[in-house]
Chain A
Amino acid sequence: MIAINYAQLLRLAMPEVIVVATALIVMATDLLVLRRCKTAVRFSVAAVLGSLGCAAAIVRLLLAPETANILDGMLIANPLTHLLQIALLVLSVFTLLLSINSKFTEHVGEFVLLILVATAGMLFLVATQDLLVIFISLELLSLSLYILAAFNKRSAQSWEAALKYYLFGGMSAAFLLFGFSLLYGLSNSTSLSHIAAAIHGPALNPLLVIAIGTTAIGLGFKVAAVPFHFWAPDVYQCASAPSAAFIASGSKVASFFLFFQLMALGFVGAEGSAAWSHLVRGWVPVLALMATASMLLGNLVAIRQTSLRRLLAYSAIAHAGYMLLAVLAHTQQSLAALLYYVITYALATLGAFAVIAVVEDQKGGDDLSNFDGLSRQSPVLSFCLAIFILSLAGIPPLAGFFAKFYLFVAVLNSASGSMGLLWLVVLAIAMSAVSLYYYLRVLKRVYVAPLPADANKFNSPVLSQVLLLLLAASVILFGCAPQLMLRWIETAIRASGL
């Protein structure tokens, strides 16, 4: 029996504790004090309180960084987890602040509570290397997201999307659990490092093959990779804007890190190879297949979309394909590239959804025609949208370009000396050339199309504009000076030795 120091455990979990406590405070304040106030006031108070809680957690992480590894990876604290937790908290703060102007619900306290609980789930998710904790925190995150997706109760479509999300999600969780149970059976441990040691062998155990398959299915669903992507377009389109933004940004960051960690740590020795004309059985070719399908389907289907949210959903599938390349390369460099990519991607997506929220509020829909002539109505909003969209398209000097460049370099570099993964990189670059077409179509609406004659007056909230400019500035800054974030990521990875 190993003695557990509960005081230490509590200290390590302090950021999560702060976030959960904030969630309860927000709920209590909203229900007890602000019951009779207007929704706008309640939203402002709740969101600001929630943001303060997240900020407190960030401060805690920055001021008292600790390094620990409790119970073989049950709970981990090192510079890398701190970095990810801070990134996730920042994204949650932005989501909360951007939701202040929403009008879709009166259950403000519950909404903010769910976002904070999901955040706590993500914080645990990145800070563990133990199957059991991974599964529990993943479920905490997922269940909150299902409810968030359904939160727009006035819209039947939102229900439908949420139900779809929930059913697919439940199924994928079952697959994941099945894979985990096989892994436990193979290794007699839930710790990733023990599993890796146990499954190491010259030939792949058939049970291990099944475990790889089911795990890939479960996580492929979380990151919306083809063929487990069906929920994404509906959820992106029908959930309320803040929920969709949260699902598209924060949860993506956490899920991709989990994906990398699980594959690179848990399945050491079962990699196989996806090199051209040199395929070897393992999890790498499985991911290569998923990545290829995601890049092709995501980019090609996005061309036909007329709703900006659906377009972003398919572009998210395509981006998941690019990011899977970094997972399958599984080197330190590719982890750095993945983190840089997913964080800057989350910033740009969050911004794009924030613009959509304002436009929907003013014009009543996210159809591309609603963006006609936006640049003449709101130059600031259009400028920000252009920055986000161009960053997603990978145009320099925005963050998305450096992210792509670094990712492709890391992938090519992973198969030291050989150009085995070149075919994946070529495909990815070719597909990003395709993607420029549909991204430019959006900007064409905004900048080129004439303003409809019956356009009403357009007023965008000041707070949204400020936040959007902040997000746009960060996208430009990280693009022009990638070293700012990269240095941090690299030292963190080196220090944590992943």
Chain B
Amino acid sequence: MLAWTIYISFLGAAGLLLLPRGSVAAARLLALLTAVAGFGITLAYFLHHQTGEMLTITRMPWVPSLGIEYHLAADGISLTLLLLTGIIAITGILFSWDIIERTKEFFVFYLLLIAAVYGVFLSYDLFLLFVFYEIVIIPKYFLIAIWGSTRREYGAMKLALYSFVGSAMVLIGLIAAYVVAGAKSTSLSELAQFPFSLHFQMLAFPLVFVGFAILAGLWPFHTWAPTGHVAAPTAASMLLAGVVMKLGAYGCLRVAMTLFPLGLGPWGFHVLALGSWRDVFALLAVIGIIYGALVALVQKDFKFVIGYSSVSHMGFILLGLMTLNQIGLTGAVMQMYSHGILAGLMFAVVGRMVYARTHTRELAILGPMNLYKFIPFAAVTFILAGMASMGLPGFSGFWAELMILVGVWRSYPTFALCVGFGLVIGVIYIWCAMQKAFFAEPGAVSVPLNPPLPPISFPERLGAIILICASVLVGIYPQVLRNVIVPALNSPLFEGLRRGSWQ
């Protein structure tokens, strides 16, 4: 049943290709229906299976001579991210309602991307996971290069190459692991049970982890993220920041950490007070949090602020993964969901509500326009999104960051202080951006815009409301996700991690 999220998206893309040339409204509607159907399937499954354990959906041999299986399965972590994908897919289409140039092709690439993302979250066979993981690269390249804005071809190529280099690293690690384990099976659970030697894990873990973490925006491999996000059209930046970056984090957790748990253990010696890969990546994540926030603080382009804030927030996820305790990991998965929703919302405000109307993203130009008077809905939405992203109670970000902080406090007390510092800067840059973008200086004369800005349309309002509700719902009742994530983390798949360095 859940497998149909993938098929329906592929079928939607194929259906779009069959539409006659120039049918804009039909293409939009078909894409929206496809996305809604995908989300509906996920939601139905979510409501039926609240245990969060790993359940196999489809399993059949694919390339028997190599032990490759077509194996789809879902646990609480996948379900959380599938819900996120569904929500972002629907709202992304709502925020692309104004695409009139090559509409059909836009939605074809969009649905291909969505289908591949569903595929990654559902794959339980490493080969299959890698196949879907690489399919993602091509549609996102075209989405940015064709429909993007500032330096789109550069941003798209950079993004594609970074992703491909990351997946090449993953591929090397996976092939090596597969061959060392006797080349009998690519199933995740079977490879995770194979006792790889400590030496091998110490080499393979950082390779695969960094390969995935490039896509998750790990500092210093994050530079594709701001340029890519800024260049992308609104729906694509929502998908990129909301979902595609989560693919990287998901890969880190699901593949790198389960396959090579010993790689997280101590080296036995210290370099600059770092004693293991875990320390190294935790440090990089903390640097990412603070660096991203500081750079966001000084940006002049509204979209770059959000782009760098994504780097900062993704740092929280990676840090949460490196805490290796249940609360920290749960927080990391919650943060994947929360950041996906909020980044989507912020990019929607900046890219669609503001930029598409004013045709500028320069904060210095936006300020004097006094936008809150003309498009108050956008201002309110951004304020809500900003509050959520700061981690105020009542929004999903609060629980996620709180859990990560508690986890970090247990594992790395010093880092917890740095993260607190990062949170404070987070408040400042959101506040500054909000003020500069929507409110004129006190006393300044607000010039009536000519021509007047078109009002916020219905699809935009609907999209924003859906996203805010998705965040508030989890903010008020975090158990809805926690109940499925915790059992998933306690499943046998993470056994090696628990036995090794779990605290």
Contact = CB atoms under 8 A, between A and B. Distances in A.
Interface of A: 375, 390, 395-397, 401-402, 405-406, 408-409, 412-413, 419, 422, 425-426, 429-430, 432-433, 436-437, 440, 443-444, 447-448, 482-483, 486-487, 490
B135 A444 contact: no
A419 B173 CA distance: 12
Contacts of A419: 176, 179-180
Chain B binding site: helix, strand, loop or mixed by DSSP? helix
Given A406-B66, A412-B179, A440-B160, A397 B145 contact: no
Nearest to A436: B164
Contacts of B179: 409, 412-413, 419
A55 to B, nearest CB: 30
A437 B164 CA distance: 10
A408 B171 CA distance: 10
Nearest to B169: A429
Contact of A426 (B130, B142, B146, B172): B172
Contacts of A425: 172, 175
B443 interface: no
B137 A447 contact: no
Interface of B: 62-66, 105, 127, 130-132, 134-135, 137-138, 141-142, 145-146, 153, 157, 160-161, 164-165, 168, 171-172, 175-176, 178-180, 183
Contacts of B63: 402, 482-483, 486
Nearest to A489: B65
Contacts of B137: 395
A456 B232 CA distance: 31
B134 A396 contact: yes
B168 A430 contact: yes
A437 B165 CA distance: 11
15 contacts: A395-B134, A406-B66, A408-B171, A409-B66, A413-B179, A413-B183, A419-B179, A419-B180, A422-B176, A425-B175, A433-B161, A448-B145, A483-B65, A487-B65, A490-B65
Contact of B175 (A396, A408, A433): A408
Contact of B146 (A422, A447, A490): A447
A432 B134 CA distance: 13
A448 B160 contact: no
A444 B183 contact: no
- Of the listed residues A375, A396, A397, A490, the one surrounded by the most CB atoms of chain B closer than 10 A to its CB is A396
A433 B168 contact: yes
B146 A412 contact: no
Contacts of A401: 131, 134
A412 B65 contact: no
Given A405-B175, A412-B179, A436-B160, 18 more contacts: A395-B135, A396-B131, A408-B175, A409-B66, A412-B176, A419-B176, A425-B172, A425-B175, A429-B168, A432-B168, A440-B141, A440-B160, A443-B142, A444-B153, A444-B157, A448-B142, A448-B153, A486-B63
Closest 10 CB pairs of A and B: A396-B131, A433-B168, A412-B179, A448-B145, A429-B168, A436-B164, A433-B164, A433-B165, A396-B134, A448-B146
Nearest to A490: B65
A436 B161 contact: yes
B175 A412 contact: yes
B15 to A, nearest CB: 15
Given A390-B138, A440-B157, A490-B65, A429 B171 contact: yes
Contacts of A437: 157, 161
Nearest to A416: B179
A483 B161 contact: no
Contact of A409 (B134, B141, B161, B183): B183
Contact of A483 (B62, B146, B165, B172): B62
A483 B66 CA distance: 10
Contacts of B105: 375
Contacts of A426: 172
Nearest to B162: A433
Contacts of A390: 138
Given A448-B153, A483-B62, A486-B65, A395 B138 contact: yes
Contacts of A395: 134-135, 137-138
A277 to B, nearest CB: 16
B7 to A, nearest CB: 13
Given A395-B135, A429-B168, A483 B64 contact: yes
A429 B142 CA distance: 23
Nearest to A429: B168
Contacts of B175: 405, 408-409, 412, 425
Contacts of B66: 406, 409
A405 B64 CA distance: 15
Contacts of A409: 66, 175, 178-179, 183
A399 to B, nearest CB: 12
Nearest to B148: A448
Contacts of B141: 440
A405 B127 contact: yes
A419 B197 CA distance: 13
B98 to A, nearest CB: 20
B214 to A, nearest CB: 12
A413 B175 CA distance: 10
A397 B64 contact: no
A114 B178 CA distance: 46
Contacts of A397: 131, 135
